[in-house]
């Protein structure tokens, strides 16, 4: 054997020399003067921007993991959303506008009340009536507020639910290859945090933004009508903030996408730590897992600092642009008054308008920011949907049950084929055992033969139709695969068994469980087949989990079954008996059994020996023993 570790010296890394997760330039200088500190702050900001740009660039087209989608897709998504739920949107905005308007009317009316007191002196006519009218408006305002919030809730929750259901639906259709390489934490973060952020930003952000914007526009129009002389200078000052707003709008999406990515990372690491709690404890990894968590938080903190500075710059600019006009109005007003261009009333009104702009403007800034966060989440969500499906169901149905693989080649990583042209014709009703060294490509072959992955070249066909062109419902009635990894879903035992045929009766479920020797322990559980199992519920032993997986297969009842080490965790003797009883139950079905325990091979009709991605021997046990080749060697080793 050649030395596989030939390059070891080049790739081994001395971890004591690893750079810190956060380069030192990103930490504030310890001892420095104010000017130096200020300079360092902006340097850090630039560096953080660079990092955000890098993260964004990488996540548009990630090597592994999930992409994020571009701005165009996000806009299209929102456009579509608005179009689809136009009615609700209109109602939402109308109610919000009414609530906002009545909120404005109250002070007006109170002002009128005061004016009346002022005008009429001590004895006021109709004071109580006016007060009652204001109470009426307040009640209306409360009702509108309730209506607006209620509509928002309905709309938002609806959006939230349909978005997450849509995303989970998408995930269920994703090519397995992509799901495997990507981190669960990222996906789950997107389904939870990002869906929530997106829905909130649409639910609250959009109506509030529109209302605040229209308040701003109305105020500006009122200013112009009031006095051109006073309005124009103020408006000029307003416009000074445009560059800052532009910069913010250009940078914020990437900043928020980067932020989202760091939270995904935090969740991924934490999920691994919690799920692998026992391994962590056994190997004394607690310290390093805690450190890994801290590192993720450090990185996330940098992303937060970047977006915080972006917001601060924007706030400062907007504050300046919208507060300074107060001073400008005052000074220009005084000059205009001395020239006789404006009167006192106009100056007062202009000032009130400028001041009154403050609140809706604050709201506009806040909501724009919220929408930016929402847009970033949306592009992370849509990124999942951007992954192209790897199968497109055709309309041909298989003619016959014969499964044939021809010239199958497959690569997980481009340029690294793990199967090198496998030809395999399954005989209907036979038991074919697949054996061979670990890592030689047996599971991969199993996946191709059950239509889970599309071969890079060659075809895997049943009855003349490519497996990957069959609709999933049809495919499942043709072949089913029990994978080497077992997973117990959160749900009842029944749910876990009936995967392939939801409408199975309880009796069928019991029969299937009995066939795999699981009925006895299932009946001992508190609620029998109705017991909830899975993560965080009733725990199953690995052997029990495998039995459940086999029961699934019996319910699925396809004509061809691929069993990938389906009994490896059950004790050998029971496993063998189990296989025997399953075989008689599955008489007439074609079974491909991948196994390291060679009694499976011994009991099979034919044996395929896979070495390095090729089938090197294919015959019955006796023939292969007589041939005295790879299989015979393996058999001798196994039985020695």
Partner 1 sequence: MQDFPPRVATFFTGTDDAPSPDPDTRSPLAFLRWILRQQTALLAVSSLCYALWFLPMTLGPWIFGRAVDQGIVGGSTTALLGWAALLLGVVVVGGVFGVVSHTLVVRSWLVGLYGTLEMVTRKAAQMGHVLPRRSPTGEVLSVASSDSDEFGALTEVLARTIGQLASYLTVAFIVLTMSWQLGLLTLVAAPLILGVALPLLRPLHRRQEVERSRTSDLTSLATDIVAGLRILRGIGGEQTFGANYDRQSQSAKRAGVAAGIWQAVVEAVGVLLSGLFLVALVWLGAREVESGELSVGELITFLGYGLFMVGPIRTFFEFAQKGVRSLVSARKAVAIFEQRAPWRDPSEPVALDGTASLVDSASGLTVRPGILTVVVSAVPEQSAALADRLGRYLPADTDPVPAEDDEDARGRAARRARTERARERARIAALDEERATREWGVTIGGVDLASASLAEVRRTVLVSDTGSQLFAGTLQDAIDPHGRLDREQAEHALRVANAEDVYDALPEGWQGQLDERGRGLSGGQRQRVVLARAVAADAPVLVLVEPTSAVDAHTEARIAERVAETRRGRTTLVTTVSPLWLHHADRVVLLRDGTVVAEGRHADLLTGNDDYRHVVARALDDEEAVR
Ligand X SMILES: Nc1ncnc2c1ncn2[C@@H]1O[C@H](COP(=O)(O)OP(=O)(O)OP(=O)(O)O)[C@@H](O)[C@H]1O
Q: Which of residues 383-442 bind partner 1 (CB under 8 A)?
A: 412-413, 416, 435-439
Residue 42 is a binding residue for ligand X (CB under 6 A)? no
Cα 380 to Cα 67: distance, rounded to the nearest angstrom? 7
Rounded Cα distance between 533 and 551, Å, is 15
593 binds partner 1 (CB under 8 A): no
Q: How far is CA 111 from CA 4, 223, 588, in A?
A: 87, 20, 90
Q: Does the footprint of ligand X cover residue 180 (CB under 6 A)?
A: yes
Nearest to 380, CA basis, from 169, 192, 227, 562: 192
Q: Per rule CB under 5 A, is residue 443 in the interface with Mg ion? A: yes
Q: Which of 325, 441, 451, 558 touches ligand X (CB under 6 A)? A: 441
Structure tokens at 638: 């196994």
State the nearest-atom distance from the C-beta of 175 to ligand X, in Å. Answer: 11
Q: How far is the CB of 410 from ligand X (least distance, A)?
A: 9
597 is an interface residue for ligand X by CB under 6 A: no
Q: Which does 633 bind (CB under 5 to 8 A by kind): Mg ion, ligand X, partner 1, none?
A: partner 1
Q: In the bound complex, what is the minimum distance in angstroms from residue 403's beta carbon to partner 1? A: 15
Q: Is 61 in the site for ligand X (CB under 6 A)?
A: no
- Report the candidate in 475, 486, 311 with the shortest Cα–Cα distance to residue 403: 475
Residue with smaller CB distance to ligand X, 10 or 438: 438
> In degrees rounded to 5, what are phi and psi of residue 312?
-60, -45
CB of 72 vs partner 1, minimal distance in Å: 27
Please state, in angstroms and rounded to a whole number, the distance separating the CA atoms of residues 510 and 292: 46
The Cα 259–Cα 265 span in angstroms is 10
Q: Is 453 in the site for ligand X (CB under 6 A)?
A: no
Which range touches partner 1 (CB under 8 A), out of 34-42, 86-94, 224-232, 538-546?
538-546
Among the listed residues 254, 442, 494, 589, the single contact to ligand X using CB under 6 A: 442
Which of the residues 479 through 498 are near Mg ion (CB under 5 A)?
484
Closer residue to ligand X, CB minimum distance, 180 or 502: 180
146 binds, among ligand X, partner 1, Mg ion, none (CB under 5 to 8 A by kind): partner 1
Pairing of strands 491-492, 532-533: antiparallel
Using CB under 8 A, which of 110, 213, 229, 411 touches partner 1? 110
By CB under 6 A, the residues from 247 to 276 that bind ligand X are: none
Of 443, 459, 492, 590, the one binding ligand X by CB under 6 A: 443
From the CB of 485, what's the least distance to partner 1, in Å? 6
| Residues contacting ligand X: total by CB under 6 A | 11
**466-485 positions binding ligand X, by CB under 6 A:** 484
Radius of gyration of the chain (CA): 35
* C-alpha to C-alpha distance for 128 and 116, rounded to whole angstroms: 12
Torsion 325-328-333-339 (CA) sign = negative
Out of partner 1, Mg ion, ligand X, none, which partner does residue 270 contact, by CB within 5 to 8 A per kind? partner 1
| Tokens standing for residue 137 | 């408006």
- The region of 73-81, 214-222, 292-300, 419-427 touching partner 1 under the rule CB under 8 A is 292-300
The answer to whether residue 438 forms part of the interface with ligand X (CB under 6 A) is: yes
Give the binding range for partner 1 (CB under 8 A) out of 130-138, 241-249, 458-466, 508-516: 130-138
Q: Exactly one of 180, 395, 507, 622 binds partner 1 (CB under 8 A); which one?
A: 180
- Per-residue b or e along 402-435, where b marks 16 or more CB atoms closer than 10 Å to that residue's CB: bbebeebbbeeeeeebbbeebebebeeeebbbbb
Residue 440 binding ligand X, by CB under 6 A: yes
On whether the CB atoms of residues 170 and 384 are closer than 8 A, the answer is yes
Decide: is 107 part of the binding site for partner 1 (CB under 8 A).
Answer: yes
Question: Is residue 154 exposed (0-12), middle (13-18) or buried (19+ Cβ within 10 Å)?
Answer: middle
Annotate each residue in 121-160 with x if it binds ligand X (CB under 6 A) or - if it does not, as one string: ----------------------------------------
Residue 437: count of CB within 10 angstroms of its CB: 14
Nearest to 493 by CA among 545, 421, 440: 545
Quick check: 360 binds ligand X (CB under 6 A)?
Answer: no
Q: Which is nearer to partner 1, 186 or 257 (CB)?
A: 186
Closest CA to 509 of 573, 542, 554: 554
Torsion sign, CA atoms 479, 481, 482, 488 = negative
Q: Which two tokens stand for residue 91?
A: 């109602």
Beta strands at 560-564 and 590-594: parallel, antiparallel or unpaired: parallel
Per-residue x/- marks for ligand X, 482-511, CB under 6 A? Answer: --x---------------------------
**Residue 123 makes contact with partner 1 by CB under 8 A:** yes
Separation CA 209–CA 576 (nearest Å) = 68
Task: State yes or no: residue 521 binds partner 1 (CB under 8 A).
Answer: no
Contact between 383 and ligand X by CB under 6 A: the answer reads no
Stretch near partner 1 under the rule CB under 8 A, chosen from 31-39, 80-88, 181-189, 235-243: 181-189
Regarding 336 and contact with ligand X (CB under 6 A), the answer is: no
Q: How many other CB atoms are found less than 10 A from the CB of residue 43?
A: 13
Residue 437 or 491: which CB sits closer to ligand X?
A: 437
Residue 395 CB neighbour total at 10 angstroms: 8
Contact 40, 32 (CB under 8 A): yes
Q: What is the distance in angstroms between the CA of the first residue and the CA of the last residue of the chain? A: 23
**67-75, 156-164, 252-260, 419-427 -> range binding partner 1 (CB under 8 A):** 156-164
Choose which of 42, 146, 335, 412 interacts with ligand X (CB under 6 A): 412
Interaction with partner 1 in 247-286: which residues (CB under 8 A)?
A: 266-268, 270-286
Dist. CA 18–CA 288, nearest whole Å: 15
Residue 615 C-alpha from the chain's centroid: 40
Q: Is 83 in a helix, a strand, or coil?
A: helix
Q: Which residues pair with 591 in a beta bridge?
A: 431, 561
CB nearer Mg ion, residue 183 or residue 483? 483
Q: What does the binding site for Mg ion look like in residue numbers (CB under 5 A)?
A: 443, 484
Binding region for ligand X (CB under 6 A): 180, 412, 418, 438-444, 484
């Amino acid at each position: 054997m050649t030395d596989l570790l030939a390059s070891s010296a080049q790739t081994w890394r001395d971890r004591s020399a690893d750079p810190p997760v956060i380069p030192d330039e990103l930490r504030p200088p310890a001892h420095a003067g104010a000017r130096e500190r200020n300079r360092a702050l902006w340097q850090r900001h630039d560096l953080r921007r660079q990092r955000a740009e890098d993260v964004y660039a990488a996540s548009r087209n990630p090597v592994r993991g999930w992409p994020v989608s571009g701005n165009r897709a996000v806009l299209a998504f929102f456009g579509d959303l608005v179009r689809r739920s136009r009615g609700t949107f209109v109602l939402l905005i109308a109610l919000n506008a009414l609530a906002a308007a009545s909120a404005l009317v109250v002070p007006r009316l109170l002002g009128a009340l005061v004016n009346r007191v002022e005008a009429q002196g001590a004895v006021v006519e109709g004071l109580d009536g006016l007060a009652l009218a204001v109470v009426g408006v307040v009640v209306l305002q409360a009702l509108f507020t309730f209506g607006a919030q209620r509509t928002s809730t309905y709309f938002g929750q609806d959006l939230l639910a349909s978005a997450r259901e849509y995303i989970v639906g998408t995930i269920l259709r994703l090519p397995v290859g992509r799901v495997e390489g990507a981190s669960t934490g990222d996906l789950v973060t997107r389904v939870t945090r990002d869906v929530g952020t997106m829905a909130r930003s649409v639910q609250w952000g959009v109506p509030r933004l529109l209302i605040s914007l229209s308040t701003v526009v109305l105020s500006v129009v009122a200013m112009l009508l009031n006095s051109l002389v006073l309005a124009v200078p103020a408006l000029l000052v307003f416009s000074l903030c445009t560059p800052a707003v532009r910069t913010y709008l250009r940078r914020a999406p990437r900043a928020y996408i980067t932020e989202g990515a760091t939270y995904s990372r935090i969740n991924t690491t934490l999920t691994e730590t919690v799920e692998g709690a026992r391994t962590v404890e056994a190997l004394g990894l607690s310290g390093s897992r805690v450190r890994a968590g801290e590192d993720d938080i450090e990185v996330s903190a940098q992303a937060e600092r970047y977006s915080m500075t972006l917001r601060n710059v924007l706030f400062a600019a907007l504050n300046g642009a919208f507060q300074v006009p107060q001073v400008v109005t005052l000074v220009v007003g005084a000059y205009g008054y001395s020239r006789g261009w404006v009167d006192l009333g106009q100056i007062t009104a202009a000032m009130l308008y400028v001041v009154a702009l403050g609140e809706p403007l604050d709201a506009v800034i806040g909501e724009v920011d919220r929408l930016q966060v929402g847009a970033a989440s949306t592009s992370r969500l849509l990124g999942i949907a951007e992954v192209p499906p790897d199968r497109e169901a055709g309309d041909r149905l298989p003619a016959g049950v014969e499964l044939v693989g021809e010239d199958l080649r497959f690569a997980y990583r481009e340029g690294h084929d793990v199967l090198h042209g496998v030809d395999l014709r399954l005989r209907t009703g036979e038991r074919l055992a697949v054996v061979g060294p670990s890592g030689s490509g047996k599971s991969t072959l199993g996946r191709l033969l059950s239509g889970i992955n599309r071969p890079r070249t060659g075809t895997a066909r049943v009855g003349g139709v490519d497996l990957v062109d069959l609709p999933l419902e049809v495919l499942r009635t043709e072949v089913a695969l029990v994978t080497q990894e077992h997973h117990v879903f959160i749900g009842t035992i029944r749910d876990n068994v009936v995967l392939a045929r939801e409408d199975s009766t309880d009796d069928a479920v019991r029969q299937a469980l009995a066939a795999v020797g699981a009925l006895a322990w299932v009946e001992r559980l508190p609620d029998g087949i109705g017991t909830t199992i899975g993560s965080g519920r009733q725990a199953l032993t690995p052997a029990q989990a495998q039995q459940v997986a086999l029961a699934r297969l019996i319910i699925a009842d396809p004509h061809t079954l691929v069993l990938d080490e389906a009994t490896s965790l059950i004790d050998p003797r029971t496993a063998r008996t189990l296989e025997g009883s399953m075989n008689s139950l599955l008489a007439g079905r074609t079974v491909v059994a991948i196994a390291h325990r060679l009694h499976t091979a011994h009991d099979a009709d034919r044996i395929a020996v896979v070495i390095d991605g090729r089938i090197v021997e294919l015959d019955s046990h006796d023939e292969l023993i007589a041939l005295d080749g790879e299989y015979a060697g393996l058999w001798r080793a196994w039985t020695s």
